Structure formats: structure tokens, C-alpha cells
Structure 1
């Protein structure tokens, strides 16, 4: 009997250990599936939903725009019209980035505000405390780089001299990129009227785009910010035509 007990106990311990390991394995598999489903939802489904919202906003806004003939318009280098402020969540205009043609959304709503309810609509959001279009200072906007439409995903493609355009109801505002940098999230001076010199009085019209730096799923891009600055170049009346850089872009109205 004693010998039989010595044989049985190790087998029982082995069965218990196997059961524990099997249970742990099932928990890990389940956890992996949950994480995978979350990533699919976060990276894919939120994008579909956000893009649908952006398209609806763009369609409604397009109906209010002055028709712009598909010919190059007259460049005006004097002071541009100053944009009248709009309420939170309302449309300022459409963001057009010719460098993004065929790569990502190239006719993106710019809404007032930077709350999640604004940015999660695959839109760019205007920092309310920064200048309006046409004013001296810094018209600063934010957008997601990953999830909810990936609005600024390809911001890394922008190089010095590339155009960034804001199309309002009756005007094209054209800026050219001056450069970019990576900063800490606490570096808010990048959206000052004179970027990085908050005490200075502005003498130029700037546009600043801000977004997360990293595209890594592991980092989620929250450690640093990608900043692209652009300087106002000229403006056009929509009724006169459009910038040459968007004549071939069928997605821009």
C-alpha cells in the first residue's frame, strides 16, 4: 500500500499542475484575443466611423462654398480677409495638403476646438486661444496621427516649401512649410503668436500643425509631439480660381 501511495501522489500533483498551467494558458489566450480585438477597434473601426463623420461634415460645408473654377486663380499678397470666429465644433474651413494627394485624406474639415468630440471626427481642430485665419500670429491646429481617422498620419511627408492650404467658404489661404521639430507635450510655446517666443508681438501670419510623434502601437505616440510650422504665402478668392497645386486633385472642391 505504501508503495502504491508513493506512485499515486506524484501523478496527482502532476495532474493538478497540468490543470493550473492549462487554465493559465487559456487566460493568456483570452487576454490576447481581447487585446487584439481592442486594437482592431481602436486602429480600424474608429477610423471608419470617424471618416464617415468627416465626409458628412465636408459634404455639408461644400454646399455653402463659393464655386471655384478649375483654373489657377490670382495670387494676392496683400493682407488676407480675417476669418470671423465660429462657435465650438463649427466648421472653419477645409484643410488641403497637396503633398498628401493619393496618400491620405486631402480635404479635411477644420473645426473650432481641440476636444476629443472634435478630433475624433477625423477632423483638424483649431486651438481656440490662437489666432484666426488672416490675423497676424499663429493659426494653430491639432489632429490625430493614429486612430479616429489618422488625420495627420503623414505629417512626416511635409518638407520645407510644401503648401498647406485652408479653403473657407470664399477664400483660399495658402501657407508654405518652414520646418518641423519634435517637442515635449509640455512645450506649449510652439503655438504662441510667435512660435517659441511667447512674449513677442507677431509680425507674420503662421500656421502650426501639432500631433503625436510616434506611430508605434506600443508607445501610442504620447511621449512627444510632432510640430510643423508654415508661413503665410498668399490668398485667392475662390470665385477667381484655385491654387495650381490642387488643380489636379479631384477630391478638393
Structure 2
């Protein structure tokens, strides 16, 4: 076989490999996340409700990957179970709730006096992150959210509605603005799509009286 034919077959094989990789990355990972979300829906529904509203039980400490609340954003068709943690494996299953408050997220706005992070309905900043291009891409259209759009979080201690107040784009290593509302939901994802150079931030304020 001539070197030219060998090269041609090699290039065809490489092309097929790249195509299969793209198919898995863009669609195959979404199938995995959909299955995980179905499982999480069942697990979340089976969780015992909390009698008091406004916050979880004392010492609430869910394991990484456990379902913690439901996130609904009608404007961009988001309807996902949020898991605890933002590690690689957790974000494969869906949006993740930050289990710790890092300096880049503007201490002490997202950290309680007892050292714990905040949960929906509480007077602090609740932070949720999700993929924008793979694993179901929950936050694919996050940039379409505008001031006034509504976000609903359903927990085992109540349902809480947030209203988008502002959006921002920061470099990946840039701290999140320290100013904000006392009770706030922060959604974060990569920006632009298919890049991790920046972070897209959406801030939403807890609506009083829900």
C-alpha cells in the first residue's frame, strides 16, 4: 500500500474519531445527565419534609451528589434537581450547590456566622453552578436572563421565589462582587460558550412574602 493511501486511511480514522468524540461530548453526555436527573427526582421526592419553613434542619449536611433542592427558571426552560457539590462528578448529574464559601465569592456574604453556607430562603447568598455546553448544558441560555425574570427553588422546607436583579461577566480568577442583597441567589457558569476564560454571573433577590 502506498504511503499516500496509508495517510488517507489514517486521516479518515482520525476524522471518525473526532466526530464520535463530538457526538459524545454534545449529546452523549446529555443522555447521562438525563438519567441522573430521573434518579435524583425520585430520591428528592422521597426526602422527608421539614416542618418549619425558612431553612433546613439544624446540622443539615447532605453528602456530595445528594439532591438538595429543585431549580426552575421558566425563561430558559431549566427544571433540574440541584445536587450538593460542584466537583466534576457532581456537575455531571446536574447543577451543583456550592458546599463551601471561597474567597472569590466575597466573604462573608455567602457564609453564616456558624461557618456554614446558605440555603434557599435564608438571609444570605446561595450559589449554584452548572455546565453550559456539556452534560445536558443546564445553563446553556443563562445569558438570556434579564432583570425581572423569576427563579423558583423548591426545598423540603418550603418554596422560594427569586427575581433576577442583574448579570455580570468576570474573569475566571476574578472575585465575585462583594455587594449584593441580604437574601440572594447567584447562578454561575462558564463564559463564553465552549470556553472557561470567564464566568457569567446572574444575581437574583429573594422575593419577600413567599
- Please state which band the TM-score falls in when normalised by the shorter chain: 0.7 to 0.9
Which structure has the higher relative contact order (CA within 8 Å, separation 6+)?
1
Aligned match of 1:107: 79
Q: TM-score, normalised by structure 1?
A: 0.68
Q: Secondary structure at the match of 2:208?
A: strand
Structure with a larger share of its residues in strand: 2
Aligned match of 2:14: 31
Aligned match of 1:157: 144
Q: Secondary structure at the match of 2:18?
A: helix
Residues 91-106 of structure 1 mapped to structure 2, 5 A cutoff: 91-101=67-77, 106=78
Q: TM-score, normalised by structure 2?
A: 0.81
Structure with bigger gyration radius: 1
| C-alpha distance 23-235 of structure 1, shift in aligned 2 (>3 A) | farther
Unaligned runs of 5+ in 1: 1-15, 67-79, 191-195, 237-253
Q: What is the distance in 1 between the residues matched to 2:157 and 2:183?
A: 19
Q: What is the distance in 2 between the residues matched to 1:26 and 1:120?
A: 35
Aligned match of 2:98: 127
Unaligned runs of 5+ in 2: 102-116
Q: Secondary structure at the match of 1:37?
A: helix
Q: What is the distance in 2 between the residues matched to 1:94 and 1:48?
A: 19
Aligned match of 2:170: 183
Residues 4-23 of structure 1 mapped to structure 2, 5 A cutoff: 19-23=2-6
The answer to whether the Cα contact below 8 Å between 2:124 and 2:183 also exists between their aligned partners in 1 is yes
The answer to whether the Cα contact below 8 Å between 2:122 and 2:183 also exists between their aligned partners in 1 is yes
Give the 4+ runs in structure 1 shifted more than 3 A: 63-66
CA drift of 1:91 comes to 1.8
Q: How many residues align?
A: 188
Residue 18 of structure 2 is aligned to residue 46 of structure 1: no
